[in-house]
Structures are given as structure tokens and as C-alpha cells.
Structure 1
Amino acid sequence: MTDASPDDPHSPAVCLDVGSCSTKAVLVLPDGTPAGFAEHPTTPDVLTGVDAAVAAAAAAAGRGRRAAPRVLACSSAGGALRLAVVGAETLIATEAGHRVCRSAGARVVGVHPGPLETDAVLELSSRRPGAVLLLGGADGADPAVLLHNAGRLARTRGHWPVLLSVDDDDARADALGLLLAGGRAVTTCPNVTPQPGRIVAGPARDAVAALYARHVLGAGTGRFGALVHSATHAAVGAGAGVLARLTGTGVLVVDVGSATTDVHRGGPGPGPAAATVEGDLGVRDGAVGVLTEAQTEGIVDPVEADLLGPAVAALQESRATVPADRGAAAEDRRLAAIAAVVALRRHLRHTGVLADPAHPGTGPDTPVDAGEIGLVVLTGGVFRQRDAAGLAAAARTVRHDAVLAPLLARAEVRVDSESVLAPAGLLAAHGREVAAGGLLAEHLTG
């Protein structure tokens, strides 16, 4: 497919980002100059869209008759990890599921309380889960329901893995035996609900994040599997690191995608950026989650929620990548800005910068000084619109948010309207730091 060494810094490269809805390709010259861009809807077989986007990016730069440049690829084609929760009681299972999914790239698609019977098994399967969280209940609970559910899950068709959350050694061993005998892949973790009314989500959240990291790549076999070695959120995180080194300041990067939104916080020193991925926030598959969480956080009032409702429903149904008119483009930007605010609040709570009012004791009593953050960047396909005033409004939404404003008082908020952060991360990860720095210097720091 290529004629150059993957680590040859003197050859052009096509930086490819395969998303759940769209596939983007940028041809970058060795000095970091972007020489061609193309976007194609992500196709069911993935490779058709990949080949079309790569060919179009090369052709846009007048390279259509030459040998293909090296392709550096990342993927988020799998979208959010769809998690079904099976537990003893509806309210605690629902809350446990959402706490486990939060900032780990997953979203709850179904909660099934009590013993799984035939109708419940059919409903669970219809939700197309990517994984199932099986809760054992509070310590000392009768393991009969857990073992019944483990047996039913073991006999249910589907390739999804089970995350088994129980502390009792005997109950865990028996449930694990049933699941493994049915051919299930199983990950065990400490009890999420060790006591009535108490939720300990951390270890299970880490396990879900690990499952998401494998799931998000999408089709992982054949030519696509050989082509893609990085998740999009990892490429964006690498780009955030290059940007921090280039500017000499701390950066916050928010990547708003169709199905997920991730946040990266990095500084100019060594070490990877801190990252969180929100599986219920996006501007296509995750649009409903954006509107729901914006109301919960008090960002959107009931009047605006009613106005945005039809747009959200249409986006989720159509999965369209390009707004049809100026009004639709404005709604797109508004949803993306709201998603960015919610994701930033969650990230700063998750990393201890902000206290979490919904869960006291999970952060500091007063906000930590975030003065080292000098730059906030909004990125993602939705921000490729050529409406300077509209993009500036999206940046103001973030800067003037009531919760974020004190932390971002000395930071500049910019919009990555050329979608260069993920390509810069791909270039840096393949030994092309000069090209990565040149790309960002021209489009984000100049």
C-alpha cells in the first residue's frame, strides 16, 4: 500500500483517522505542510472508505499518479463500548453502571435487575452489548441470583465478555466456572456494590477502560488490523503532548466525536497526557447523551433543550457528517460546545482538579489552581466548519462556563478548524516530530 519506511521523516505521509461515522485523511509533507484533505463516510467494511479517503487526499495534492505515500492510521471506528448491567436491584445497578462507565469510554445500554429470565435475556441481547457487567450484590448477599444469572449469560448467544464484580471467593469461583464453561471471556474485579447504598467504581472502571481500548479500534483483523495500531484518542493525546512542548505551557484538548468525547491534559514536561473518554457524549450516536447531561449539569435550560430536541433526534437517526444548512450547522456547533463543557467538567473532577458535587469526597473541597493551563483546544470533525463567528461562539461557551471559567481565566481557547491534532500525534508517534511540530505551529500556535 506504501513505498516508504514508516519511520522515514523525509517522505510524505497520509494521516488517517477512521471514526465511527466518517473517515478523514490528511496528506502531510515532511516539513509539516498539509497538502491534501479528504473525508469519506465510514463504510460497513471500513476498508472501502479508507481506500477512498486515502486516494482522494493524495489526489487533492496532485499525487494521484505517483506511488502512494505511507499511511499512518488511528481508529475510533468501534465507537463507545455498549455496557449492559445485570444486578439485583434497579436503582443501585443503574447508578453503579453509570459510575463505572463515566470517563472510561462506555455507555449503559440496559439494566436488568433480579434473576434473568427468558424475556430479560432476549431484551439484553437486543441491546447489542459490547460487554456485560455482572454485579454480585452487597457483601453477604445470597449468591443464588448471581449464580443463576451467570448460568443464563453463559448459555446466551453473543461474543461479548463479562465483567464479574463480586468479592465472595466461593461465589466468584462458582460464577466464573459457569461463565468459562459457556465459553465466555471473563474479567474479574472487586465488588462495585460492597455495601447497601455504597458504590466503589474505580477498579471496575479501570477494567471497562481496558475493554474500551480494545473495542474502539473496530475491525481488528486482516488489512485494517495491520494498518491501524493506535486508537484515535491515543493519537490526539500524543498531539496534545507535542502542542504542550511546542508552546511551553499546559494544554487541555477536547476531541468531540460522533460517538465519544475525550479530554487530554498535558504539560511541557515528559510523560503522557492524562486522558478521559466519555462514551455517552458525541454529536451523532452520542447526541442524546449530550442533551441529557447538559440538563443535569445545568448548562442547558428546558427551553433550549426543547429547541435542540428535534435536531438531536435527527442526528442520531441520520448519522449525517455534514450539516445541510446554516441552521443545522449552528445546532451542530452548539451541541459540540456543550459536549466539550460536560467532558471538561468530568475530566477535571475525575483527575481531582474539581470537587464533584454529586459525589462528595471524590475531589478537593475547593478548586485546585489550574493556572498552568495556558491553552485549551477544541478539535473534532464538527469544528471543520468555515464559520469563524460560529466557531468563536463555541470557544466562548467553554471559556465562560460557570464552573470552568475560574480555572481557565488565564488560558486561551482555540478551535482546531483544520483537524491537525490527531495527524500531529500520528506523526510524532512514528518518529516525525519535526513534521508534527510544523503542522501544529502553522495551524494552532501561529
Structure 2
Amino acid sequence: MTVPPPGDPDSPAVCLDVGSSWTKAVLVLPDGTPAGFAEHPTTPDVDEGVDAAVAAAAASAGRAGGPTPPVLACSSAGGPLRLAVVGAERLTTVEAGHRVCRSAGARVVGVHTGPLEGRAVRELAAQEPGAVLLLGGPDGEDPGVLLHNAGRLARTRGRWSVLLAVDASARADALELLRAGGRTVRSCPNPTPRPGEIVPGPVRDAVAELYARQAPGARPRRPGERARTRTPVAVADGARALARLTGTGVLVVDVGSATTGVHGCVPDGGGFPAEAVMTVEGDLGVRDGAAGVLVEGQTEGLVDPVEADLLGPAVAALATSGAAVPADRGAAAEDRRLAAVAAVVALRRHLRHTGRIDPAGPGGRDIGLVVLTGGVFRQRDPAGLAAVAATVRRDPALMTALAQVDVEVDSESVLAPAGLLAAHGRERAAGVLLAERLLG
């Protein structure tokens, strides 16, 4: 039997989301009704987990053994962009590295300062970065350390690219050294032009582009399948569909195992923009990103020292647990608390980044709905999920911007599937799915 094309609105479809810990599959009927759901731990061979999740979703809908419906897939299995930072002076290098990663989908996995020598080079290689940010210090500084490091990076094994963010006067020599070793290099303005000053914007944009180009981890395998859509893109499509459906500005917070993204779709005067504004926090997640949630929660004043001590053992375990399901009600409550903190920190950063932290600022009065989504919210605990929504709604730093805003929890994980449906010509089904399973 011929598999219907993904855009055929008269056929059911499996909406597949391959995450860094879990692979989720939802079978959606042509009218937008979800008929089956399944999840499976994401496997090293991604296809194994995909096949298991798709088969289980079909079986849960009573379609086991029948023809495979078309699969609309997205993936964030690559996790955040792993960034190693190399610079001359430690304090400035650490701060610059973390600031260029913020809201750009990256996580600092190592900081190396001074001239790179054998041990530091081996440590950098062991960190398996996706990219290396090479800094050179303030403008006009002696380029000796920079050029030494460029030469060592050129000779070091690894498939990572280099973001060269240095003084223009030293850029040409550093570029020549790196390219002589076969490195892929992108040149950026110096984020530390003067002592004590950090200008992260241009480098952050370059980091965000590298994150956006990461392979999503899901490959098309079946006739009619259109995989390789990144999960942030699917969620952004869902945010746009939700904004059109409600007629108001929407903020969607997607809390994952390794990253937390925020997608804002706000009217621009002539209707909703074609693209949602997206920020992705590579240091916030509820599994291997849990340590970052605890650190940033304390930095932002959301987690006090007593709570940090109480959550510490759980965070340490979650950071290496992979696709773990909470073992009891206490563990489920810890998951919800970490998810709430991740959502608040990510929203604060997004609103600062976009200038909407002030309700009188651009778009500030146009936000009418916040949606919290992600597998962590599939818990069947209405009171616990309501407490998470209340944490977001009552956060002191968000109250001015979100005082009159509804906060909904996507407990059935329909936001990303709705985005996949909308992107493949199934707008009516996407609208029904959101209206009945999220807003209903």
C-alpha cells in the first residue's frame, strides 16, 4: 500500500519528536484527534528508538500490524552546542564565554586560558566541543598568546570549527594559522574590546547560527517521511499556530532534558510576524542540564541555599540519569520544581533579550498567553502542574510583563505535534488539536 504524503490532510499521521532523552510519538487523526501516544528512550542508534515509538503509538491506537502512517518528525537529540573557550585572561574569558552562550543554544564545556600546552590541549580534545571560541583580549594587546593558541588549535585533532573573536589588527595572522591547519573558521568582532567591557551580541549571533545548523539526529527513512526538522522549529510553528488561533501574543517555554527554549510570537502591528522570536538556553534542562538549573536558580534568587542543599543530590543524579522516569511522588515533585525554575530563568532571559521585560516596551502589552511544554509536564498531577504555572505567573521579575497573562501547561505534549501538522499543510488538524487538548 502506498504511504500517503505528509501533507495529505485526509490521512492520519505520526508526529515524532526525538529528544536527547526521550523519543515521543503521537498518532493524530485527520480531524486533529490524538488517537495514540508512546514514548521510548532515545537510543544511540536513533532509528531503533524511532521504530519502537512509532510502532507503540500505532498499537495504542489499535493499528498494530497495519500500514505505517506518514511520519512528521523533529529532533533536538543533538542537545546544546558544546562550546570550549580559549583566551588569555581567565576572569574575562569565563564571563565572555558564558555571555555569548546565553540564549544562543550553547553550553560552555571548558575554559582554557594562557598559552595552550600539551595537557590543556588534551583536556580540550577530551571535552569534545562542537566549536571553539578563540579570544585574544582587549584591542591592541600583544597578540603573542593568541597566535600561539591559534597555531596549537590548528594542529589539534578534532572536527570542531573555530569562532575567532579578536582584535582586527591580529585577525589576519590568526586566520592564516588556523586555515593552514584545515580548520573551518568564522571571524567575529572582538567581544572584549576594552578591559572590563564585554560586547557579546555579534558573537552570540554566530553561536546561535552554529547551534541552528547542528544535525537534528533524525533522518528520513520511510516513503513520505520528512524528518530533519529541528524541534525548536516545530515548537515555533506551534507557537504561530496558537497565536493565530487565540488572536493574541504567545510565549511558549519548551523545557527539555538538555535545553530550554522560549518562542515568542507577538503582533507587529500588521498581524503576526512570519517568524517567531526564539531563544534557547543550553545550560538549562531537567536531566543533563539540571546542574545549570540549580546554579542559575540561585544566581537569579529563585532558589535559596536551604533548597539548593535539598535539591543537590537529586540534581547530581539527574545529570547522569538519561531517560529516567520519576520513581515516586517526591521525585516527580523535584522534576516539577526544576522545570519551574528552568522556565522562569528562560523567560527572564528571553524578555531581557527581546526588550519585553518592561510591559511598556515593544510588544510588552501584546502577550496574552504563556504555554509551558516539554515531556516533564506529562505528569498526571493537576495540582502539581498548577503550582508550576503559579510559580511562573507570580515571579516578581515577570509580573510586570505578564501580570494579566494566562499560563497554561501542555500536559498532553501537543504543541510540537501541532507545529509539525501546520508545517505540512494540516492547519485545520493543528488548530483542533490545540483548541481541544491545550485550550479546552
TM over 0.5, shorter chain: yes
Which of 296, 303, 322 in structure 1 is aligned with 2:325? 322
Matched, 1:11 2:5: no
Matched ranges for 1:24-63 at <5 A: 24-63=24-63
d(CA) in 1 for partners of 2:398, 2:198: 27
d(CA) in 1 for partners of 2:25, 2:220: 21
Instruction: Check whether the contact 1:2–1:68 (CA below 8 A) recurs between aligned residues.
Output: no
Q: Mean Cα displacement is larger for which, 47-56 or 261-270? A: 261-270
TM-superposed deviation, 1:119: 0.8
TM-score (norm: length of structure 2): 0.95
Task: Say if 1:128 and 1:302 are closer, same or farther in 2 by CA, change over 3 A.
Answer: same
Q: Residue 314 of structure 2 aligns with which residue?
A: 311
SS in 2 for 1:164: strand
d(CA) in 2 for partners of 1:42, 1:66: 24
Q: Residue 173 of structure 1 aligns with which residue?
A: 172
Instruction: Check whether the contact 2:140–2:167 (CA below 8 A) recurs between aligned residues.
Output: no
In the TM superposition, what whole-angstrom CA distance separates every residue of 1:200-229 from its partner, at most 9, and x where no partner exists? 1111101100110122613669889x8523
Q: Mean Cα displacement is larger for which, 410-419 or 1-10? A: 1-10
Q: Residue 88 of structure 1 aligns with which residue?
A: 88
Which of 419, 430, 433 in structure 2 is aligned with 1:425? 419
Q: Structure 1: which amino acid aligns with 2:351?
A: L
SS in 2 for 1:187: strand
TM-superposed deviation, 1:116: 0.3
Fraction of identical pairs, as percent: 74
Matched, 1:338 2:337: no
Instruction: Check whether the contact 1:9–1:432 (CA below 8 A) recurs between aligned residues.
Output: yes
Instruction: Check whether the contact 1:85–1:108 (CA below 8 A) recurs between aligned residues.
Output: yes
Matched, 1:158 2:158: yes
Task: Say if 1:214 and 1:368 are closer, same or farther in 2 by CA, change over 3 A.
Answer: closer
Task: Say if 1:263 and 1:147 are closer, same or farther in 2 by CA, change over 3 A.
Answer: same
Instruction: Check whether the contact 1:371–1:410 (CA below 8 A) recurs between aligned residues.
Output: no
Q: Residue 199 of structure 1 aligns with which residue?
A: 198
Matched, 1:406 2:400: yes
Which of 281, 285, 290 in structure 2 is aligned with 1:287? 290
TM-score (norm: length of structure 1): 0.94
Q: Structure 2: which amino acid aligns with 1:198?
A: E
Task: Say if 1:206 and 1:418 are closer, same or farther in 2 by CA, change over 3 A.
Answer: same
In the TM superposition, what whole-angstrom CA distance separates every residue of 1:84-115 from its partner, at most 9, and x where no partner exists? 10001000000100110000000111111111
d(CA) in 2 for partners of 1:196, 1:147: 20
TM-superposed deviation, 1:281: 0.3
Task: Say if 1:130 and 1:253 are closer, same or farther in 2 by CA, change over 3 A.
Answer: same
Q: Mean Cα displacement is larger for which, 35-44 or 270-279? A: 270-279
Structure 1 gap segments, 5+ residues each = 356-363
Instruction: Check whether the contact 1:369–1:407 (CA below 8 A) recurs between aligned residues.
Output: no
Task: Say if 1:4 and 1:369 are closer, same or farther in 2 by CA, change over 3 A.
Answer: closer
Q: Structure 2: which amino acid aligns with 1:122?
A: R
Task: Say if 1:223 and 1:10 are closer, same or farther in 2 by CA, change over 3 A.
Answer: closer
d(CA) in 2 for partners of 1:75, 1:222: 14
Q: Residue 255 of structure 1 aligns with which residue?
A: 254
TM-superposed deviation, 1:3: 0.4
In the TM superposition, what whole-angstrom CA distance separates every residue of 1:406-440 from its partner, at most 9, and x where no partner exists? 22111111100000000000111111101110100
Q: Mean Cα displacement is larger for which, 251-260 or 133-142? A: 133-142
Task: Say if 1:386 and 1:7 are closer, same or farther in 2 by CA, change over 3 A.
Answer: same
Instruction: Check whether the contact 1:354–1:368 (CA below 8 A) recurs between aligned residues.
Output: no
Matched ranges for 1:88-237 at <5 A: 88-169=88-169, 171-215=170-214, 217-218=216-217, 227-237=226-236
SS in 2 for 1:418: coil
Task: Say if 1:43 and 1:265 are closer, same or farther in 2 by CA, change over 3 A.
Answer: same
Q: CA RMSD in A?
A: 1.9
Which of 423, 435, 439 in structure 1 is aligned with 2:433? 439
Instruction: Check whether the contact 2:81–2:130 (CA below 8 A) recurs between aligned residues.
Output: yes
Q: Structure 2: which amino acid aligns with 1:280?
A: D
SS in 1 for 2:198: coil
Instruction: Check whether the contact 1:22–1:321 (CA below 8 A) recurs between aligned residues.
Output: no
Q: Residue 385 of structure 2 aligns with which residue?
A: 391
In the TM superposition, what whole-angstrom CA distance separates every residue of 1:346-376 from its partner, at most 9, and x where no partner exists? 0000001227xxxxxxxx9x86673321111
SS in 1 for 2:37: strand
SS in 2 for 1:11: coil
Q: Structure 1: which amino acid aligns with 2:397?
A: V
Structure 2 gap segments, 5+ residues each = none
Instruction: Check whether the contact 1:26–1:34 (CA below 8 A) recurs between aligned residues.
Output: yes
d(CA) in 1 for partners of 2:400, 2:133: 38
